[in-house]
Amino acid sequence: MFFSDLTSSGAIPALTATLQFSARRHEMLASNVANLNTPEYQPKNVEPASFQKALGKAIDARRTATGGIRGDLFIKGSREVGMDSNGNLRLNPTAINRGPLRHDQNNSDIDSAMKSIAENTMVYRMSAELLRSRFNLLQSAISERV
């Protein structure tokens, strides 16, 4: 068995994709906070539900192709989430059109921005912890301390 078989089996590819999504979304959300007082700035977001739907389809496709045991996940392109030719997750954020426009034509809301950052941080931390535990199990198995 090759190392790539170990790293593309079970939940590892889904956790990796979730970490990539959370990291890219965090950059976007941080940009929203940084531009909170920028005139005419339109905050952007990618809803986690669109990523979850695309990830679910990729998992179903892997189950159909390989029985779900192993294999890379390829997230097919949707309007908001997809993968580039190198297998990296790409986000196509949309403008958030909620809340009243202020006098400077900016409708940013610090409360909703911070809520989104907190939720995204929890998803990232949980995914990182689960991925770390998977790699610790692999390390234990490889070192024969099971």
| pLDDT, position 23 | 95
Element (H, E) at 81: strand 81-83
| pLDDT, position 101 | 58
| pLDDT, position 18 | 93
| pLDDT, position 99 | 60
**At residue 114, what is the residue type?**
M
What's the rounded Cα separation, in Å, for the pair 80 and 57? 14
- pLDDT 10s digits, 63-77: 888 776 677 777 877
Q: What tokens appear for 129 in the block?
A: 């912890």
By the 8 A CB rule, do 123 and 52 touch?
no
**Quick one: three-class SS letters along 101-133?**
CCCCCCCCCHHHHHHHHHHHHHHHHHHHHHHHH
**Domain residue ranges in the chain:** 3-139
Model confidence, pTM: 0.81
By the 8 A CB rule, do 76 and 58 touch?
yes
| pLDDT, position 8 | 61
Q: Which stretches in the chain have pLDDT values below 50?
A: 146
What's the rounded Cα separation, in Å, for the pair 101 and 42? 10
Three-state secondary structure call for residue 22:
helix
By the 8 A CB rule, do 58 and 73 touch?
yes
How many CB atoms are closer than 10 A to CB 52? Answer: 13
